[in-house]
């Protein structure tokens, strides 16, 4: 039985590429997860508990190696956002921004009118 040649990369890059749709996705996913693992190790003892700890038992203590092992094990995954959902979210954000701007404008107009009325009252006295 033919065996894959031994490489320094474990898990093999071919196995990792089977889990994602492109090399670029693999790089982005592994780097993001490696930063999270590194942040977890840096925050130990602080009691923060916000970052998810490593999800695989690894012989390597290096965050990138742990991230690659998590990708190979299917523990670190990604999802592509739907373009329609992105467009809907952007439209909702634009609408919310427009409402906020109009509310601020009304509040400023009210404050200016109130200040003018106070000045007129003081000058009348």
Tell me what percent of the chain is helix, strand and coil, each rounded to the nearest 5.
Answer: 65, 0, 35
pTM score: 0.60
Give residue 77's pLDDT: 87
Give 4's pLDDT tier (boundaries 50, 70, 90).
Answer: low
Give residue 70's pLDDT: 93
The contacts of residue 53 (CB under 8 Å, 6+ apart) are 37, 40
Furthest-apart CA atoms within the chain: distance in Å: 104
Give 6's pLDDT tier (boundaries 50, 70, 90).
Answer: low
Indicate if the pLDDT at residue 112 is higher than 60.
Answer: yes
pLDDT tens profile 17-69? 999 999 999 999 999 999 999 988 888 767 666 778 888 888 888 899 999 99
Nearest to 76 by CA among 28, 14, 38, 7: 28
Structure tokens at 79: 């999802």
């Amino acid at each position: 039985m033919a065996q894959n040649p031994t490489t320094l990369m474990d898990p093999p890059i071919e196995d990792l590429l089977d889990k994602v749709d492109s090399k670029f996705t693999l790089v982005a996913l592994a780097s993001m997860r490696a930063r999270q693992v590194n942040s977890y190790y840096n925050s130990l003892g602080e009691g923060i508990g916000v970052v998810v700890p490593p999800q695989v038992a690894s012989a390597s203590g290096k965050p990138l190696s742990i991230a690659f092992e998590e990708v190979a094990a299917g523990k670190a995954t990604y999802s592509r956002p739907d373009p329609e959902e992105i467009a809907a979210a952007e439209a909702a954000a634009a609408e919310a921004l427009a409402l906020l701007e109009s509310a601020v404008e009304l509040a400023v107009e009210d404050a200016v009118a109130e200040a003018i009325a106070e000045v007129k009252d003081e000058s009348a006295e």
